[in-house]
Amino acid sequence: MNVLITGANGFVGRTLCARLVDKGWSIKGVIRSGKHVARLPAGIDIVQIESIGPDTDWSQALENIETVVHLAARVHVSEETAADPLSEFRYVNTAGTEHLARASSEAGVRRFLYVSTIKVNGECTIDVPFTERDEPAPQDPYAISKWEAEQSLQRISSETGLEIVVVRPPLVYGPGVKGNFLRLLKLVDRGIPLPFNMASNRRSLIALDNLVDLLVLCIQSPQAVSQTFLAADGEDLSTPELIRSIAKALGRRARLFPFPPVLLCLGAKLLGVEEITSRLFGSLAIDSTKVKKLLNWDPPVSVRDGLQQTARWYLSNQ
């Protein structure tokens, strides 16, 4: 199998590359020009590009490729500096993805696996978890651009016959994790008291190894063609449960104290960081029934083991 992976040196890309090399497949890894490649496994054919957009030259990268796994994207950042964020996200995530898919079809690629985001479904769940049947409700520029990319891929598939598979993961954690999850690891490790003991939310996560396992399956399975999948670990956690689980994995004591969520949310709104509290107190649950039944997939790593792997990586890098 000849596979092209964009974002090969990213959080998910590195582990996926390693997994596919172990299978004996021929892998091309796309990275931005000038990016560090030392962390990529041996045996990867590196292709460097300047940037992803509607004019990217993919001819070298797509030569003799059967399947494309598109991981690279302009991702959400907490401090946006672009004057028009939606246009910037669309340039890379929508127009860039559409251009890559059309180039893939013209180059004879058979399957295009697109890693989207659960944020296409929306930002929170109330009484029932998200499923693939839900009407998409993206709210921020990142999610809007990813949803528009999904729609472009479906049009290209109907026009060209390119096999499309879409996976919408929730928050991914594991060795090498960054962002809010890494910040939470640091807070728990330092023993900082956290005012989240009154949170009663439910949030779905997916361990890095579980996501990679599913992506490998989606590359191969005939049943995956033309499907969109929502996938998670299968054990939803409240914020206090997550913090206690992280503390246990780190060998620390969880320091939680009760504080009215409404007051925390009000304070966060006044400070302009309400998005963070919405994640800490809001629910975002996923129903993975479809992917489990259609692809006969079960997450190979439990939440407990996934958090322990993450904790070991974190402690070894301190």
Decide if pLDDT at 275 tops 90.
no
142 given a catalytic annotation:
yes
Domain count, the chain: 1
pLDDT at position 220, please? 96
Domain-located, residue 191: no
Domain-located, residue 96: yes
Distance CA 62, CA 16 (A): 18
pTM score of the predicted model = 0.94
% the chain with pLDDT above 70: 92
Domain-located, residue 40: yes
Which of the two residues, 279 and 227, has the higher pLDDT score? 227
Backbone phi, psi, residue 4, to 5° = -105, 130
141: burial class by Cβ within 10 Å (0-12, 13-18, 19+)? Answer: buried
Strand, coil or helix: 21? helix
Mean pLDDT value across residues 276-299: 90
Domain-located, residue 292: no
Most confident of 40-49, 68-77, 119-128: 119-128
Structure confidence by residue, pLDDT tens digits, 244-253: 999 999 999 9
pLDDT at position 32, please? 87
Distance CA 221, CA 91 (A): 31
Domain-located, residue 222: no
State the catalytic residue, choosing from 91, 114, 142, 173: 142
Distance CA 25, CA 213 (A): 15
CATH code of 22's domain = 3.40.50.720
Domain-located, residue 107: yes
Token pair of 4, please? 């092209």
Structure confidence by residue, pLDDT tens digits, 88-129: 999 999 999 999 999 999 999 999 999 999 999 999 999 999
Write out the residue range of the structural domain in which residue 38 sits: 2-168
Structure confidence by residue, pLDDT tens digits, 140-165: 999 999 999 999 999 999 999 999 99
Asked if 225 contacts 292 with a C-beta cutoff of 8 angstroms, the reply is: no
Domain-located, residue 14: yes
Domain-located, residue 63: yes
